[in-house]
Structure formats: C-alpha cells, structure tokens
C-alpha cells in the first residue's frame, strides 16, 4: 500500500514538472501584449453614421412590442428578421406567442435561436402605466444577459421609447414622467451592459417632442411613412466598432 502511494506521489511530481516546462514554453511565445481600448461613450445615444448597405439587414434582427410590428407590416428590407408581440408585457416575453407565426414560438424563443449579429430591441410602451419599472428592468437585464451568453460578440441596440400622441389613462404630465422614468432605466441598462442605445426622437417627433401625426395611424404605431422614417433612422445610426476600438500593443 505504502509502495503504491509512493509511486503515485512520484508520478504526480513528474507530471508537475512536465506542466512546468509547458508553462515556460507559453511564456516564451508571448513577445508582446495588446490591449483593446474601446472609446465608445455608452452613456450617449448612437450618433449619426454613414448609412448601412442592404446586406446589413441579413445580420439584423428587430424584436419588440407592437411598435416593432410596423417593420414586419410595411418594412422595405426583406432580409431583416422581425419578431414582435402585440400588447407584450416584457415579463411575459417567454409566455406570449409571437405575432404572425403558426409555430407557437415566443419572442424569447426567437431571440434565443437567432444568429443575427445586430439585435434591436424595442420594449416598454405596454408597461408605461407601471408604478415602477424595476421588474421590467430586471427582465430586460435577463434578456441582455441571455443574448450575450448566446453570442458574446453580439451588438445590441436598445431603442428608447418615443413620445406617443397619448396613452389612455395617463394625462400629458403623467405620460412625460413615465416616459422619462422608462427611458432612464433603458439608458442605465445600456450603460451597465456596454450596449448601444438609440434615441429616435429627432427623426420622428415634431417640435413638441411628440411623434409626428403623419407618421402614425393611431398616435403610436407607425404607418408606412413612419416606418420608412424609422428605417432611415436605423440605417444612419449604426456603431462600427472599428471606429471606436483601437488595439494598443506594447
């Protein structure tokens, strides 16, 4: 017995020595260290960029509530993947079936399955009457974590809520307060997750900051003209990592 233990001990020591030589080898191979420095300011909305080409849409998925449905109904880019749920409460994203599908898949199923590199998310308008956005933000965080776990290099664009003409049950002041609270949470999620966020207001709202009447058919959902305006906005607000990430080598 003692002999066996002794032999095992020797074997372990020998292995340990072998491991040492391999470590030494690795150290020798490293001749310089490089560091990727990301200068993108995640606290700011995505700035205007050069317009993307049509091939970009084959890499993009647009997911959201009924506001995102306009891309499916009136969109001009057939290669874009669009998933949406009318009347979606984000807490139910893995329960409610996605619109315009017969397979019973939820939007979370679609987000889990997609291999698209650029994912656009538009959630929150159905929670706008909420007393707090904490549970909403927690669920949103869970989705962002899932997307990043599924694809560590995925680019996620969080789309802030634009100001609709009205929301039943809320007066103008209440709507402003709720929109500010929602968008503050969305920006915080973007900052916390080093994720991009889009503020579409300049592209689609009037001088009062409310969505242009000619862009919507019910004060909230985009008509074909509004859809085109949103598409143009997406096309000219893309982050190209090469513009921001620089590799510095010693």
Partner 1 sequence: MLKKFVSSICILCLLCACSGGTSGKEASSGTDVKSAAQSLVKDLNLTDTTAEVEDRVVQGLFFFEDGVVTASDVYLANDKSADIVGVFKTTNIESCENSIKTYLSTTKQQMQSYFPEEVFKVDNALVQDNGSDTVILIICKDMETAKTKAEAILKG
Residue 96 is a binding residue for partner 1 (CB under 8 A)? yes
Minimum distance from residue 198 beta carbon to partner 1 (Å): 24
Q: How far is the CB of 92 from partner 1 (least distance, A)?
A: 6
Please choose, out of 5-13, 92-100, 146-154, 171-179, the segment that lies near partner 1 by the rule CB under 8 A: 92-100
Continuous H helices in 114-223: 134-150, 172-192, 201-204
Residue 135 in the binding site for partner 1 (CB under 8 A):
yes
Site for partner 1 contains 97 (CB under 8 A): yes
94 class by beta-carbon count within 10 Å (0-12 exposed, 13-18 middle, 19+ buried): middle
Among 59, 72, 86, 188, binds partner 1 (CB under 8 A): 86
181 is an interface residue for partner 1 by CB under 8 A? no
Nearest-approach distance from CB 155 to partner 1, in angstroms: 28
The reply on whether position 112 binds partner 1 by CB under 8 A is no
CA 249 from centre of chain: 30
- The least CB distance from residue 86 to partner 1, in Å, is 6
Q: Which of 209, 201, 208 lies closest to 229 in space, CA to CA?
A: 201
Q: Which of 52, 89, 143, 204 binds partner 1 (CB under 8 A)?
A: 89
Q: How many residues sit in the footprint of partner 1 (CB under 8 A)?
A: 24
Q: How far is the CB of 213 from partner 1 (least distance, A)?
A: 17
Tell me whether strands 245-249 and 196-198 are parallel, antiparallel or unpaired. Answer: unpaired
Nearest to 154 by CA among 57, 59, 47, 38: 59
Residue 169 as a binder of partner 1 (CB under 8 A): the answer is yes
Closest of 96, 95, 56 to residue 78, by C-alpha: 56
Helix, strand or coil, per DSSP, at residue 103:
coil
Give which of 220, 129, 219 is closest to 174, Cα–Cα: 129
- Is residue 126 involved in binding partner 1 (CB under 8 A)? yes
User: Does residue 201 contact residue 162 with C-beta atoms inside 8 Å?
Assistant: yes
* Sole binder of partner 1 in the list 168, 173, 207, 247 (CB under 8 A): 168
Q: How far apart are CA 99 and CA 101, in angstroms?
A: 6
| Binding segment toward partner 1, per CB under 8 A, in 21-29, 46-54, 82-90, 173-181 | 82-90
Q: Strand locations in the chain, DSSP E?
A: 34-38, 60-65, 81-85, 118-122, 155-159, 196-198, 245-249
Residue written as token pair 């001088």: 207
Q: Is 33 an interacting residue with respect to partner 1 (CB under 8 A)?
A: no
- Measured from the CB atom, the residue of 213 and 218 that comes closer to partner 1 is 218
Site for partner 1, rule CB under 8 A? 66, 86-87, 89, 91-92, 95-97, 106, 126, 129-132, 134-136, 138-139, 168-169, 218, 220
């Amino acid at each position: 017995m003692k002999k066996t233990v002794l032999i095992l001990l020797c074997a372990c020591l020998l292995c340990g020595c072998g491991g040492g030589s391999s470590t030494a080898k690795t150290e020798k191979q490293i001749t310089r260290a490089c560091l990727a420095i990301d200068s993108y300011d995640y606290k700011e909305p995505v700035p205007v960029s050069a317009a993307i080409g049509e091939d970009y849409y084959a890499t993009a998925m647009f997911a959201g509530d009924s506001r995102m449905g306009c891309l499916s109904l009136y969109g001009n880019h057939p290669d874009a993947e669009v998933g949406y749920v009318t009347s979606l409460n984000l807490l139910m994203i893995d329960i409610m079936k996605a619109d315009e599908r017969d397979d019973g898949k939820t939007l979370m199923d679609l987000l889990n399955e997609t291999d698209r590199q650029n994912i656009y998310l538009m959630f929150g308008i159905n929670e706008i009457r909420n007393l707090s956005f904490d549970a909403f933000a927690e669920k949103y965080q869970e989705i962002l974590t899932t997307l990043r776990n599924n694809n560590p290099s995925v680019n996620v664009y969080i789309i802030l809520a634009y100001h609709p003409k009205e929301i039943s049950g809320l007066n103008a002041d209440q709507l402003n307060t709720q929109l500010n609270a929602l968008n503050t949470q969305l920006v915080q999620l973007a900052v916390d997750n080093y994720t991009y966020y889009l503020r579409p207001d300049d592209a689609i709202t009037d001088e009062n900051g409310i969505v242009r009447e000619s862009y919507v058919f019910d004060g909230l959902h985009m008509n074909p003209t509004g859809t085109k305006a949103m598409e143009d906005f997406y096309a000219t607000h893309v982050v190209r990592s090469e513009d921001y990430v620089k590799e510095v080598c010693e």
